[in-house]
Structure 1
Amino acid sequence: MAERRNHIYFFYKRDEKTSEQVKSLIHLAKEYDFNVVSEHRKANIIVSIGGDGSFLQAVRQTGFRNDCLYAGISTFNTPSFYCDFHIDDTDKMIEAMTNEQIEVRKYPTIQVTIDNSASFYCLNECSIRSGIIKTFVMDVFIDELHFETFRGDGIIVATPTGSTAYNKSVNGAVVDPLLPCIQVSELASMNNNRYRTLGSSFILSGKRKLTLKISPEGNHYPIIGMDNEALSIRHIEKLDISLSEKVIKTVKLKDNSFWEKVKRTFL
C-alpha cells in the first residue's frame, strides 16, 4: 500500500490578508491529520495560494519536484487553469483530503539549456524576445536540421498546458496535455525575399530537440521568459529546448478536466 501523503507546505504571499486566509487552511489540514511543514523540502504536498501566477512560482521556487503532489487554491473569482480549488470552497478540499484513491493529473514540462551550460525548466513556456526596439535573427533547427531563418520580435516555445497562455494570444493552437509535445509560435516575424518563415505555429514530438541559434547581429539584450520570470543575459549564442522527463503532478478532480477548464475559461 502506498504511503499516505500528509506533509503539506503552503506557498503564498506573506501579506496580512493572505496570511489570515492561510490560518484557516492550516487549521483544516491539521483537523484531518495532515502535518503542516515550514520547509518545502520536507513536504510531499505543496499548495499554492493565489492564482495561476502563484502556482507557477510555487513550482519554480520548489524546484519542479516530481516526487510530490502540487495543488492550487485560488483567491480570485475568475477561472484558473492550475488552481483546482477556491479559497471559500472547503468541501472540495475535504473531499480531496479524505479520498485515498484520488487521481493524479500529470503536466509536462520543457527543459531549456543556454549555450550548453545553464539549464532551466518551464511549466508553461519559454520565450525569447528582443530587449530593445529592434528585430533580431535566429536560425531554427529541428534535430540539427536547419528549418528556417527567423527575423522578428521573438519566438515562444510552449508546453501543451502552456498552449492556453502566451501561446494562445499569438494565435497558437490549444493542445491536449495528454500529447507529449512542444509548440513553437512566432512573434511578429518578417517575411520577405531575404527572410522566410513558416508563418504559423508548429508542433513537435516530445522526442525532438529544438535549437535556436541567435545571430550576433543585434544580439545584445535578449529577454528570455521562463513562465512568469524573465532572464536578461547578454550575447546568448543558442538555446536547446526539448520536452523534459519531469512532470508536475496535481490533484485531478471530477468534472474538472483540461478541456472543461478550456470551455469554462474561453467559451
Structure 2
Amino acid sequence: MQKGRFTVMNNRKNVYLFYKPDDELEKKVQEIRKIGRKHGYSLVEESKDADIIVSFGGDGQFLQAVRKTGFRDDALYVGVNDGRLGFYTDFDTTDLDKIENALKTENIEVLKYPTLEVEVDHLQAFKCLNELSVRSNIIKTFAIDVYIDDFHFETFRGDGMVVSTPTGSTSYNKSLNGAVVDPKLQAMQLTEIASLNNNQYRTLGSPLLLNHGRELTLKIVQDGNDHPIIAADNEALGIRHSHEIKVRVAEKPIKTLRMKDNLFFQKVKRSFL
C-alpha cells in the first residue's frame, strides 16, 4: 500500500475523464476541472496517455471505466459519485472541498483491488473487477462440473454460479448469501445460484473461498441446455456455446484512490447496517 501525497499524486499529472455527459453533470465536471488545473493537472484525450483515470457516476460507471480502459495496472483509478457514495467512489461532485483537499493533503492512499482473469474455451480472455456470473439463458436448470486445480470437486445443477472478488463480495454475491470478504485478501469466492441437491446432484451448498494461486474450472455439462449467459461485472458478454471457463485471481491488481477516513468496513456499515 502506498501512502502520502508525494508518492500517490505528485508524479501523476495526466488525467482522463470517463463519464456520460449531460448538462447538469457537465457543470460539476467543469468545476472539478478548474480545481485540477489549479494544482497542475492536465486532461488527455486518450485513456492510454493518462496517469489518473477518473470516472463520474456510481459504482456501475466505475466498473465500466475500468473495463473500457483495459484494467490498467500502471494508472490510478478514482471514482467520483454524483450523489450517494459507493464502494468504489470516495468522492462526490457536491463536495468540491473534499476533492481539493485530497490534492493537497496526505489524507489519501492507494488501495490495490484484486481482479479476476477469465478464459473461455481457451479462446477468449477478459478480466472482472466485481464478479463473473454464469447463468441459464432459459427457464431451465443446467449442470456444471466444478474443478479446483484439475481436481473434480462437485457437479452442480441449478440456475448458475457466481465467482466474485473481495470488493465484488458486497454486490451480486451478497444477494446470494455469500460472505463479505476483506479486499486485502487475495482471493475469489464461488457462490451458487439456486442449486438442486438430490440423489443425483450434490453440491457444497455454501460459498467457497479460494486463495490466490488456485485455478477454478467450470465445465458446462452438455445436456441440451448448453448456452449459458456469461456476464463480467455489470455487462453481459456475447459469448455463446461455451464449454469450459477457467478463473483465477489476476497477478496484477488495479489501483484505486480513497480517503484514509473511509475504510472498506465503514462503507459496509454505511450500506448495510
Q: Which residue in the other structure is 1:84 paired with?
A: 90
More moved, 2-11 vs 64-73: 2-11
Question: Which one of 54, 70, 73 corresponds to residue 61 of structure 2?
Answer: 54
Cα distance in 1 for partners of 2:94, 2:195 equals 45
Question: Which one of 9, 19, 27 corresponds to residue 12 of structure 1?
Answer: 19
Q: Which residue in the other structure is 1:39 paired with?
A: 46
Q: AA paired with 2:227?
A: Y
Q: RMSD between aligned alpha carbons?
A: 1.4
SS of equivalent residue, structure 1 residue 96: helix
Q: Which residue in the other structure is 2:175 paired with?
A: 169
The answer for unaligned runs of 5 or more in structure 1 is none
Kept after mapping to 2: 8 A contact 1:110/1:244: yes
SS of equivalent residue, structure 2 residue 169: helix
Q: Which residue in the other structure is 2:213 paired with?
A: 207
- Give deviations 1:38-91, integer Å, cap 9, x for gaps: 2111110000001000100000000000101111001123x4100000111112
Cα distance in 1 for partners of 2:234, 2:140 equals 23
The answer for unaligned runs of 5 or more in structure 2 is 1-5
Cα distance in 2 for partners of 1:255, 1:131 equals 43
Kept after mapping to 2: 8 A contact 1:221/1:232: no
TM-score of the aligned structures, taking structure 1 as reference length: 0.96
The Cα shift of 1:188 comes to 0.4
Question: Which one of 112, 129, 132 corresponds to residue 126 of structure 1?
Answer: 132
Cα distance in 1 for partners of 2:225, 2:240 equals 7
When the two structures are aligned, how many residues end up with a matched partner? 266
- Give deviations 1:119-159, integer Å, cap 9, x for gaps: 11000000000011111110000000000000000000000
The Cα shift of 1:16 comes to 2.4
4+ long deviations beyond 6 Å = none
Q: Which residue in the other structure is 1:140 paired with?
A: 146
Q: Which residue in the other structure is 2:76 paired with?
A: 69
Q: AA paired with 1:252?
A: R
Cα distance in 2 for partners of 1:189, 1:153 equals 7
The Cα shift of 1:101 comes to 8.1
SS of equivalent residue, structure 2 residue 199: coil
Cα distance in 1 for partners of 2:251, 2:214 equals 13
Is residue 2:222 matched to residue 1:249? no
Kept after mapping to 2: 8 A contact 1:124/1:161: yes
Question: Which one of 177, 181, 188 corresponds to residue 182 of structure 1?
Answer: 188
Kept after mapping to 2: 8 A contact 1:212/1:238: yes
TM-score of the aligned structures, taking structure 2 as reference length: 0.94
The Cα shift of 1:220 comes to 4.0
* Distance verdict in 2 for CA 1:261–1:250, change over 3 Å: same
Kept after mapping to 2: 8 A contact 1:155/1:187: yes
Cα distance in 2 for partners of 1:193, 1:168 equals 28
Is residue 2:20 matched to residue 1:26? no
More moved, 226-235 vs 103-112: 226-235
SS of equivalent residue, structure 2 residue 224: coil
Cα distance in 2 for partners of 1:259, 1:102 equals 17
The Cα shift of 1:102 comes to 4.2
